[in-house]
Structure 1
Amino acid sequence: MGSSKQQLKELAAVNSVYCRITNLNGTIETGLEIKEDIVDKIQSSSQVKDATFTVRLLAGEGEFPLEDWKEHLTLFITGINRISAISGLSEDKIHWKGKAEEKFFSSSVQGCLVSESTMEKYQWNLGDTISLNLYYQYYDERNQLHYKPLELMPIEILGTLDPFISTTEQVPSDILIPFDTIRECFSRKKSPFYADSCFFYVNDPLQLNKFKEEMKSIGLLQKSPTADYNYQGISLTVRDSTFRALGNQLLQSIDTLQSFLPLIGITIICIGYIASFLLINTRQREFALMRAIGVGRGMCFRLFLLEQLLLILVGEILGGGITFLLFRSSVTVAISGSIFFISYLLGCMFALWRMGRTSVINALFSMD
């Protein structure tokens, strides 16, 4: 049973349960509108591990009239909080201005990474400070897409990106900016902030039910394929089928072993009781001789009990060592050792009590 429980813990450690926010009918995973309060609650949840977010913007270089936005918004901006937010992107694709920025994406630094092709197109150089006129997109109640100016941001080019193929981006990003840097732009503008996509992992897959209850309290719903098409990120897809299938098999094994545990415990108690009783019962003459030379009944009881306790201690050490080598579980050693100790001690005390009630004369003559 200890082995099965250990396997269950190892299963939870190596089989991460992947979760993704989608729209209600589950048809889109990016280009969503995920409310900021949901973002905050996911980030602060102890049930969530490696929460990953993106936010998409459009930008042009420098200032331009609002009515000319279609002509100037040629740069695709993505804000990310982890490098894993974009498939295909890895550390070896990034060339930093100086030392590699390990916490760049999780910070709110006023810096960016620019693709090599964009650097060539705009004749930018590493270390330049460029002026990005940021625009954000939103959907109205009829799911029509609109754009609004966000901020004219001076930002330093801290690194460049080699070309890579991404399976999650419909339009490749020209510029990457830390997720929190863009959130601060919305805060300064006092505009409602929405993340574009979100995925994460369950922190403890053994607490799946508790996790799902918390996600429900956050406001995330189960996918409903018949729901109307929209861009609101309010549904959570939990890909736990593989973990649940393997976990259920181990749980069935644990339940089966646990159903035999009472019978095994009773058997151990009986064996310990009978063994100690028979061992003590064969020493009635020795007990009678000690009583005949004047040793008190209490002293005899303590001497015999101390002797048996020493035997039990030796047995515990040897048996515990063998059990640990077989099962590699200190819990198993403690449980089995405790059952053996209690059962053997009860049998020993009962046998000593019965022997103490035996007549010394009868015991001496019955042994002749």
Structure 2
Amino acid sequence: MNTKQVEELTGITRQNIRYYERQGLLEPARETGNAYRDYSKEDVRRLKLIKMLRMLDMPLKEIESVLNEEVSLKEAAIRQQEALLKQQRQLQAAIDVCVSIHKEKAEVIDVDDYLEKMENMSRNGGMFAKIIDDYKQVSQEEQQRQFSFYTEQEINTAGAFEAELKKYAVKNGMKFELVEGGMYPVFKLDKAVYTAVRVLEENQAVQSDSEGSGQMSGKTKIICKRELRPVAETKIPERRRRFFSGIHTIVVNIKRHRAKSILNVSVSLFIVVVMTVYMGNLNSARQQIENLPKNLPIKAEIWNVAEDQNSGLFIREEVLDAVYQSNYTKDINEGVELIGFPNGKESQEEKEEEKSYSQAYVPGESYWIEGVNTTGCIDGFKEKEIAWSEGWNWEKFQKEQDVCIVNQEIAKQQDMKLGDILSLSLQRYYQDISGVSLYSEKLEPIQSEIVGTADFTGLDAEIAKPDILIPLENAKQIFEKNQKPYFASSLSFQVKNPMKLNALKKEMKEAGLQSVVQGAAHSYAGAGLKMDDAVFIESVTSLQKSLSLLEGFLPFVFLVVMMLGYIVPNLLLSGRREEYAIMRALGTSRREGSILFFMEHILLAAAGSVVGTMIGLLFHTADAGSAFSIWGLFLICYALGAAVSMGMFGRFSVAAVLSHRD
């Protein structure tokens, strides 16, 4: 038929038909004699196909590949679909920007801002879209690379194999060319190179042979896999293509073996949940031990050895030095007691050089004065119970001399006010050589300004409340001024690090302190050390036992995970030897096949362990840091076990497995 007839049949103009001829897409025959073009039905079909593909906006280069049967029409359509989808995303992004500009309220838009946004969208979206597009392309290529068919004839020779391949090519109208014979032949179908492998599939029905013995009947499945296209054609770097190909294989295998995949995920999830609970208990025990000093602080006090007095004692300088210089003490409360007499007047008895302890202090006639360094010297007393003169506080009080705080009740009884000056005659206590009797002696009188009044009414009724408080350093200067040896009357402190309790006790023992003993002879010497450490010791001992038990099982837990990492893949791979053998027969190396199977199990284990970790976080069995560590440790141990399993997997004859002789 002539050009005009072709125009009418195809709807393509003469100019376009000539253009397609010049591009090599069409080669019509020529009439003998006049060389007019004579178009055949096949030429018309090609033109219609060209028109259809051009209407899909397919490039002429791609159309040429389809016409020359280098690429199937389906494959070309899939590629064009991806290209059109990419254009659609780009157009949608442009539409979104147009809509945003339309909605702008300002008359003048910020062009720089829009340019920056569009460039970011192009960079980020383009990179991600490129990765997705590459993966989709590789995935589609992998799906189209392999096909299979059945033959009822057994294939036991290379010749029989070649005959079946030729039969398939003829049946499907394809050109066949044998490249390399054998039981794993390489051949061409329409210029595409394939490798084939045959697999014997057994039927369940048992047939009887001529001798009456039963045997399994079967048929042969031939699987053909096309070689990869050159990198120049795929436009995807070789490493990226191999990576995406592996991902595709893993995804297909996971879908194909859905039940086993779910089992792998479930086992991993369960293991991680158990590990999370276990590690949560382990970390909890460690945390409890770490927080125990804060939750159960230990207070230490100096008593006499008989444990019947913790104030009014004589505590030697060596003991004070040991307590203050120790690295294991904090919040030290030190006090010293004095006797004061109002208006500088003393009774005839009080003017005597020495008086017994019982004669020295008489409530209502004399004052119990206590030099203190903290409010903690009086149990339960806080600074908020002090009414200060303007500008005064505890810190300033400790730094000054000749100032005092008066018991609120005494101040009311004797009409004392803030700012008043007290004139006081002083006496101090001292013990005899035996340490059993206590006496008092005179000190020089002092004058002291009242800078605060203390409300002791909220304290325990059994706690002795001093009449007057003075700064500890001021009291020490009084002893120094009168050339009298200084002894503290009371001393207590907090243990800084209860976990170092034994080291502290050793230091105190070296300073001359000993354990208190109920029933011992009474003495005023502050030589006994009493600590409320029984509950702490009992608690820390119990927790350390639990921690030791949990830590003892830790290696066993990791060993169990590694064993499961070995056993689970072994069980799940037991029925997949044929699948592995087919991969090997079609050109996959043992190393690559093992890596693909290994990564399949590790990815499933990772997915299951992530869910298990999230469950652990949800139920607060572990914190985020611990949960991440558990996830990592599980994967490492599981991967080690799986690696051993994969190292042993695949040690079989490929031919024997495919022919069911193994």
Q: Normalising to structure 2: TM-score of the pair?
A: 0.48
Q: How many Å separate the matches in 1 of 2:384 and 2:660?
A: 91
Q: Which letter does structure 2 place at the counterpart of 1:203?
A: K
Question: Which amino acid letter does the alignment assign opposite residue 96 of structure 1?
Answer: W
SS of 1:19's partner is strand
Matched, 1:119 2:411: yes
Is 1:180 paired with 2:473?
yes
Shift of 1:234: 1.5
Given candidates 19, 32, 39, the residue that maps to 2:313 is 32
Aligned to 1:142: 434
- Residue 349 (structure 1) shift: 0.9
Question: Given that residues 276 and 344 in structure 1 are in contact (C-alpha distance below 8 angstroms), is that contact kept between their aligned partners in structure 2?
Answer: no
The structure 2 residue matched to 1:354, chosen from 633, 640, 648, is 648
Q: How does 1:216-295 map to 2 (within 5 A)?
A: 216-225=509-518, 227-258=520-551, 260-261=553-554, 263-295=556-588
Kept after mapping to 1: 8 A contact 2:342/2:424: yes
Amino acid at match of 1:361: A
- In 2 relative to 1, CA 93–142 (structure 1 residues): closer, same or farther, beyond 3 Å? same
Structure 1 range deviating more: 325-334 or 12-21: 325-334
Give 1:157's aligned residue. 450
How far the C-alpha of 1:159 sits from its partner, in A, is 0.7
1:196 Cα deviation after fit? 0.9
- How far does the alpha carbon of each residue in 1:127-183 deviate from its partner, in whole angstroms, 9 at most, with x for none? 2344444432221213343434555544332111235365232xx422111223323
- Of 248-257 and 320-329, deviating more is 248-257
- Alignment-derived partner of residue 318 in structure 1: 611
- 1:342 corresponds, among 616, 636, 648, to 636
Amino acid in structure 1 at the alignment position of 2:515: Q
Q: Is the 8 A contact 1:108 1:179 kept in 2?
A: no
C-alpha separation between the residues in 1 aligned to 2:648 and 2:487? Answer: 80
Please state how far the C-alpha of 1:252 moved relative to its aligned partner.
4.6
Letter in 1 for 2:326: S
Q: Distance in 1 between matches of 2:608 and 2:510?
A: 54
Instruction: Give, in angstroms, the shift of residue 263 of structure 1.
Output: 4.7
**Structure-2 residue corresponding to 1:108:** 399
1:55 to 322, 332, 336: 336
- The one-letter amino acid paired with 1:108 is K
- Cα offset, 1:126, TM superposition: 0.8
Aligned partner of 1:167 in structure 2 is 462
Q: Any unmatched runs of 5+ in structure 1?
A: none
1:43 pairs with 294, 311, 324, which one? 324
Distance 1:272 1:167 in 2: 68
Q: Does the CA contact (< 8 Å) of 1:112 and 1:175 recur in 2?
A: yes
- 1:87 CA displacement: 3.5
For 1:316 and 1:153, the matched residues in 2 are separated by: 77
CA distance in 2, matches of 1:194, 1:16: 27
Cα 1:222–1:96 shift into 2, 3 Å? same
Matched residue of 2:306: which SS? coil
Please tell me whether the aligned partners of residues 29 and 197 of structure 1 are also in contact (alpha carbons under 8 angstroms). Answer: yes
Query: Secondary structure at 1:180's aligned position in 2?
Result: helix
What is the alpha-carbon distance in structure 2 between the residues aligned to residue 57 and residue 161 of structure 1? 18
Q: Percent identity?
A: 30
1:86 paired residue among 378, 394, 397:
378
The reply to whether residue 327 of structure 1 matches residue 621 of structure 2 is: yes
SS in structure 2 at match of 1:41: helix
Asked whether the equivalents of residues 280 and 348 of structure 1 are also in contact (C-alpha less than 8 Å), the reply is: no
CA offsets per residue over residues 323-360 of structure 1, 9 Å max, x none?
A: 34342356764664455323311221112222354444
C-alpha distance in structure 1 between counterparts of 2:482 and 2:602, whole Å: 78
Superposition deviation, residue 259 in structure 1: 5.4
TM-superposed deviation, 1:9? 4.8
Does 2:479 correspond to 1:198?
no
Question: In structure 2, do the counterparts of structure 1 residues 320 and 123 end up closer, same or farther at CA, with 3 Å as the change threshold?
Answer: same
Q: Deviation of residue 205 (structure 1)?
A: 3.8
Does structure 1 retain, via aligned residues, the 8 Å contact 2:515–2:528?
yes
Match of 2:369 among 65, 68, 77: 77
Alpha-carbon distance between aligned partners in 2 of 1:195 and 1:283, rounded to the nearest angstrom: 85
Residues 219-273 of structure 1 deviation map (CA, whole Å, 9 limit, x = unaligned): 3211234644321111111223333444444445445545555554443332232
**Structure 1 pair 49/327, CA: closer, same or farther in 2 (3 Å)?**
farther
- Partner of 2:370, secondary structure, is strand
Q: Secondary structure at the match of 2:430?
A: strand
Contact 2:567/2:645 (8 A) holds in 1:
no
- Farther-moved stretch of structure 1 (334-343 vs 228-237): 334-343
- Give deviations 1:17-59, integer Å, cap 9, x for gaps: 3322111222221111112342243234343343322211123
Which of these two proteins has the greater Rg computed from alpha carbons?
Answer: 2
One-letter code aligned to 1:278 = L
Could you give the per-residue CA deviations for residues 248-307 of structure 1, whole angstroms, max 9, x where no partner exists?
Answer: 444454455455555544433322321133345554444434433434444444444444
SS at match of 1:51: strand
Give yes or no for contact 1:132–1:154 (8 Å, CA) kept in 2.
yes
Aligned 8 A contact 1:272 1:340 in 2? no
Distance in 2 (CA, whole Å) between partners of 1:281 and 1:24 is 77
**Gap change, CA 1:295 and 1:91, over 3 Å in 2:** same
Q: Could you list the per-position Cα deviations for residues 48-85 of structure 1 after superposition, in whole angstroms to 9, with x for gaps in the alignment?
A: 34332221112345767994678999222112223232
Aligned letter for 1:168?
I
**Which residue type is aligned with residue 404 of structure 2?**
C
What's the offset of the Cα at 1:114? 1.0
In structure 1, distance between residues paired with 2:298 and 2:412: 41
**Structure 2: gaps spanning 5 or more residues:** 1-280
1:34 counterpart SS class:
coil
Conserved in 2, the CA contact under 8 Å of 1:285 and 1:367?
no
Cα distance, 1:96 vs structure 2: 1.1
Please state whether the residue corresponding to 2:494 is helix, strand or coil: strand
Letter of the 1:39 counterpart: L
TM-score (norm 1): 0.80
- Paired with 1:336 and 1:138, the residues of 2 have a C-alpha distance of 65
Stretch deviating more after TM superposition (313-322 or 84-93): 84-93
Separation in structure 1 between the aligned mates of residue 387 and residue 442 of structure 2, nearest angstrom: 30
